[in-house]
Homo-oligomer: A and B are copies of this chain.
């Protein structure tokens, strides 16, 4: 292989495929980036067997085709620090890689490209199309409530539901449910899959924040493929049946409050200071006729907060893990939220003041 390409462009693409490079593995080849120069152009691939990313062709002058796997960390470190504009990369038959740029010359040992695992084949028949920025927000707004342990593997991922013109993402960790809904730009048949949390957090780092950029999603039995234009990401899916979460959301409620989201976040953060060393210490909500009182108590002392709210329905006292409330509220972009309560031991639901683009369910704690 011999080619010349722009250093900054190369670095940008290394940062993309790096999201699929393994950090610690017993298979050293998975810590590598595959460089391929062939008739399709120059492209990079990262693949940790759960998740794979392959870039679109990178502008380069190719003098000799070939492929080589290079340890991602050293390759990234070197390219990042080079002081020239263009990089010349040359390999020899012993897999030594020569990198020439500006006043620097590096020679490092690579591995044969043949040993690098190929990305799974995903048939690209039916595409669900979304705005990259929308998908990005929906993941950010739900990913915090995926389950952290492996007791129920399906809960370590998020449910993607494609249904008619709508698309929804749901995460459930046993104590709460986060649900977000959005429009599809194009859609075909109804589909449900469970995508690993790790895939989604890496995908989120490379999804564009520009509103006009689109992502096409392709699904097979075992895999999901995201085509971002600059790169494709392929991930395995989680096998199994997701929890039937819909039945947890009830239309009934006894008390509805309308409250400023930031005021509520700040009050909860302050109240939870006195229970800092024990995140399981509940904060207590006392919903009166015109205000919401929040109190917390521990060995450390007591906190009392009062915030104004529009309240409709019965007075109620209920306790929560403040972190669950704070995380849900932080994921909401609107200024005000609606909250439905039924009883001291029934879950509450956080809803938008208008529309149905999200719903968050939180289980109470015993007082």
**Is A345's beta carbon under 8 Å from chain B?**
no
Residues of B within 8 A of A109 (CB): 300-301
CB of A107 within 8 A of CB of B302, answer: yes
Separation in Å of the A176 CB from the closest CB of chain B? 24
Q: Which residue of B lies closest to A100 (CB)?
A: B304
Judging by beta carbons under 8 Å apart, are B301 and A107 in contact? yes
Return A326 CB to nearest CB of chain B, in Å.
12
> Least Cβ distance of A318 to chain B in Å?
20
User: Chain B residue with minimal CB distance to A299?
Assistant: B109
A94 CB within 8 Å of chain B: no
A276 close to chain B: CB less than 8 A: yes
Known A-B contacts A74-B300, A300-B74; A103 and B307 likewise in contact (beta carbons under 8 Å)? yes
Q: Answer whether residue A148 sits at the interface, using C-beta atoms and an 8 A cutoff.
A: no
| A92, chain B: closest CB distance, angstroms | 13
* Complex CA distance for A270 and B266, rounded to whole angstroms: 46
A273 adjacent to chain B (CB < 8 Å): yes
- Given contact pairs A104-B303, A106-B270, enumerate 8 new A-B contacts (beta carbons under 8 Å): A78-B273, A81-B273, A82-B270, A96-B301, A104-B304, A104-B305, A106-B301, A107-B301
Show 19 A/B contacts (Cβ-Cβ < 8 Å), sorted by A. A74-B274, A74-B276, A77-B276, A81-B266, A81-B269, A81-B273, A82-B270, A83-B266, A103-B267, A103-B306, A103-B307, A104-B267, A104-B270, A104-B303, A104-B304, A105-B303, A105-B304, A106-B302, A106-B303
